[in-house]
Amino acid sequence: MKVMDYLPYLVSAWLFLIGLYGIVTSRNLIHAVTCLAVVQSSTYVLLLAIGYRRGGTAPIFFDVPVGTRAVDPVVASLALTDVVVGATVTALLLALAVQIHKRLGTLDPDELRAMKG
């Protein structure tokens, strides 16, 4: 029981860290962008875990008695908004990666040392 309570939070932290590890060690921009999507998905899990109520139904109060236990609808809408934001960022980044591949013929960040401080 105890483990099941903590599991979503652990999953969220794991997604965050493993995604960051992927970005840091990435040798391919598409891979890096996908890892960023993994990092972002940690927030979906976290949000839904926070709003979860044991034994709660979906928050549709149409033909259920008043006072029925339901999961938090606010976090669901936050997660939805978050998905939209994440999709926008991912789409933009993938477009950039495609352009880079078109111009330079490579997706390896190490080969793209165009800039030096």
Partner 1 sequence: MPALAALPVAIPLLVAAALVGAGPLLRRRVADTVAIVTAAAVTVLGAALLARTLGGTTVVWFGGWTPRSGVALGVAFAIDPIGAGMVTFAGLLMTAALTFSWRYFDTVGILFHALMLVLLAAVAGFCSSGDLFNMFVFFELLSVSAYALAGYKIEDPGSLQGALNFAVTNSVGAVMVLTGVALLYGRTGALNLAQIGTTLAAAPADRLVVVAFALLLVGFFVKAAVVPFHFWLADAYAVAPTPVCVLFAGLLSELGVYAVARVYWSVFSGPFGGHTPGLRAALLAGAALTALLGGVMCILQHHLARLLAFATVSHVGLTLLGIALLEPEGLAGAALYTVADGLVKAALFVLVGILAHRFGTLEELELRGQGRALRWAAPLLVLGAVGLAGVPPFGTFVGKALIEEGAGGAAHWMAALFMVASALTAGAVLRVSGRVFAGWGPTVFGGRDESAEEAAKRHEAEEGDELRVSRSLIGPSMLVPALVLLGSSIAIGMVPGLSDRAVVVAARFADRPAYAGAVLGGARAAPTVAAPTPAGGRLVAAAPWTAGTLVLAVAGAAAALFGRRLPSRLRRRGLRLTVPMVRALRGLHSGQMGDSVTWLLIGTAGFGTVLAAVLR
CB of 44 to partner 1, least distance (A): 10
Note the residue count of the chain: 117
Ramachandran sector of residue 69 (left: φ over 0; alpha: ψ -120 to 50; beta: rest): beta
Q: Residue 2 interacts with partner 1 (CB under 8 A)?
A: no
Residue whose structure tokens are 């190490």: 110
CA atoms of 9 and 24, how far apart (whole Å): 23
Per-position x/- string for 59-78, each x denoting binding to partner 1 as judged by CB under 8 A, each - no binding: ---------------xx--x
Which residues of this chain interact with partner 1, rule CB under 8 A? 16, 20, 23-26, 29, 32-33, 36, 39-40, 42-43, 46-47, 50, 74-75, 78, 81-82, 85, 88-89, 92-93, 96-97, 99-100, 103-104, 109-110, 112-117
